[in-house]
Structure 1
Amino acid sequence: MKVNVLEAKNNLSQLIRSAQAGEEVVIANRGQPVARLVAIDPAEGARTWTGPDFVAWLRDNPLPPHLQRSAEEIDAGIQAERESWD
């Protein structure tokens, strides 16, 4: 099934049920496919993560370069957010 972003936004619960039933849902922006909604393996969803497992997963599934930030950038962002509270 292919739906546009607005339709996906308005019918998310129904689309999730479709994915749970095994149907693949493709979300398109202006007719171009941009995302796929599929059900996950129930065992994967119930997985209990340990620290080393999570670190290994992060290493195998890195963020795209445009989303990666250094620890210093993250700390600066947190500090700026805290300062904006005053």
Structure 2
Amino acid sequence: MLFDIEVKISLKSGMLNPEATTIERSLALLGYEVKNAKTVDIIKFQMEGEDREVIRENVVDMCERLLCNPVIHNYKINVIPQNTACGK
């Protein structure tokens, strides 16, 4: 079975986010007032396997070892089996 994987990575609360600060300042220069901007990186890929939980555990390992820094980042994982639409 093929799974679509989506990992959303964001900075933990209290961490400096220079990218979001730059966005806020740039939007202010364009006349828009924005508060509390946050940035999120989204990584999408596919994995093959039979057990959704095993796939999820593998993705957690990927996040902890490579995709993010668990000291400063939070991450959310979505594991979606393909062909789950009605009639398939």
Tell me which structure has the larger Cα radius of gyration: 1
Bigger relative contact order, structure 1 or 2 (CA pairs below 8 A, ≥6 apart): 2
Higher helix share: 1
Instruction: Indicate whether the TM-score tops 0.5.
Output: no
